[in-house]
Homo-oligomer: A and B are copies of this chain.
């Protein structure tokens, strides 16, 4: 009988054994970043209260904040309907992005066309 918790049994891992993780600030609901986990990173994240990822570039585990101090305390974790994406809600200490911005999505705007007909009267299509 194994003493390990079966945290990954419901997850559909990709062909590299990874799953994408959307990381969201639990109270403001900002999307902070997207990262990747293998089964061990998910197990550590779900059992320790700290977010742990798999770094694809460094090919190693990466407990968020160990170097930067920008720790992520886990507040919730959900799996999507297909079992192939995790939504991790955290309390982010300091900034999430290694560039120094609060989220990893703060710098590059893709400037989409926003259909004025789809915007409610009185609203601004920013």
Interface residues of A (CB under 8 A from B): 7, 10, 20, 22, 24, 28-31, 33-34, 45-50, 73-83, 85-87, 91, 97-99, 101, 104-115, 118, 125-126
Contact = CB atoms under 8 A, between A and B. Distances in A.
Contact of A20 (B10, B20, B46): B20
Contacts of A20: 20, 34
A108 B76 CA distance: 11
Copies in the complex: 2
Nearest to A11: B110
Given A49-B112, A76-B114, A86-B110, 11 more contacts: A10-B110, A22-B22, A22-B31, A34-B85, A47-B113, A75-B114, A76-B109, A77-B109, A77-B111, A78-B106, A81-B104
